[in-house]
Amino acid sequence: MSVPCEHPWTASQFGNDAIFTIEVGEGSEWKEFWAHVNLMAHCSGWFREELARVAEQNAEAEESKAPIIKLPDQCPDVFEVFRDVLYSGKLPLPETRRYPLGFVCKLYNFGKDFDIMMLRNTAVDALFERFADDMPDLEYNNIRYVWNNTNKHSAMSEMAVDVALNIGDSKALLRDYESSFSKAFLRTLLYTASDFGVVPFEHREDRVDWIERLRGQVCKRYHDHEGDESRRADEEADEDMEVDDGHEEGIGGVGWEMELSFR
């Protein structure tokens, strides 16, 4: 069962035009990809600006060659999955049937760094499926990993806090707290509960039932279809204030528009 989306990405709406080359990675990890200029410009603010810059350079040099964009610091495997999503609108299933959590975080962060909303949304859906697959058990290591490897105001971290708050177990969470969770995580969890009038770990319903009801809310709660400038500003602020545990220690609270618990 897939995660429903009110505004699914479809490449066909933008048509096909000129093709350009993207070189990703370096050394033995180097790979070359191609993509349509118009499609990449529509899905990514970063690529739109970079393609315009390269086109201007070629015009000044009176060259008609196709643009080449080099991303030596990026992971070819991440870019390959992004390109698959770009053209198919779906996350391709690996042989293991699901991606490692670290790879899902890399997809989200690539989408954040290159201003690709649809890739961030795809990564959010993949994270939800990981939580759904883990039910009725709840893997706190997964929550900790997401918190430590994405920005505090990201949709990924918000979902991790939401899951811990609504269907987490207080004894298990506190038992693993010293070794697994930062003070910032626990502070954010408690501040969020206070802000929205939610009783943490109240367990109003079965975990499986709760997570399946969340499936229908993922798009409205966590997807970004219009370029969420406030979230982007918060994420950029996080990058300036991070500490070794993955998040800054001074500020709590997550800005959800909807009530956290389902009543």
pLDDT in tens, 150-169: 998 899 999 999 898 888 87
Which string of b and e fits 119-154 if b means at least 16 CB within 10 Å?
bbbbbbbbbbbbbeeebeebebebbbbbbbbbbbbb
| pTM reported for the whole predicted model | 0.82
Does the N-terminal peptide bond of residue 136 adopt cis geometry, omega within 30 degrees of 0? yes
Quickly state the pLDDT bin for 10 (edges 50, 70, 90): confident
Question: What would the DSSP string read from start to end of 18-71?
Answer: -EEEEEES-GGG-EEEEEEHHHHHHHBHHHHHHHHHHHHHHHHTT--PPPEEEE
Q: In whole angstroms, how far apart are CA 25 and each of 30, 96, 122?
A: 4, 24, 22
pLDDT in tens, 28-72: 999 999 999 999 999 999 999 999 998 888 787 777 678 899 999
176 pLDDT above the threshold of 80: no
Which carries the bigger pLDDT value, residue 120 or residue 98?
A: 120
pLDDT in tens, 211-249: 999 999 999 999 998 865 555 555 655 555 454 444 443
Q: What value does the mean pLDDT take over residues 5-23?
A: 83
| Whole-angstrom distance, CA of residue 190 vs CA of residue 101 | 25
| Whole-angstrom distance, CA of residue 138 vs CA of residue 168 | 7
| Whole-angstrom distance, CA of residue 185 vs CA of residue 202 | 19
Q: Looking at residue 14, what is its pLDDT? A: 66
With 0-12 / 13-18 / 19 or more C-beta atoms within 10 angstroms meaning exposed / middle / buried, residue 253 is middle
Q: Looking at residue 237, what is its pLDDT? A: 55
pLDDT in tens, 85-94: 999 999 998 8
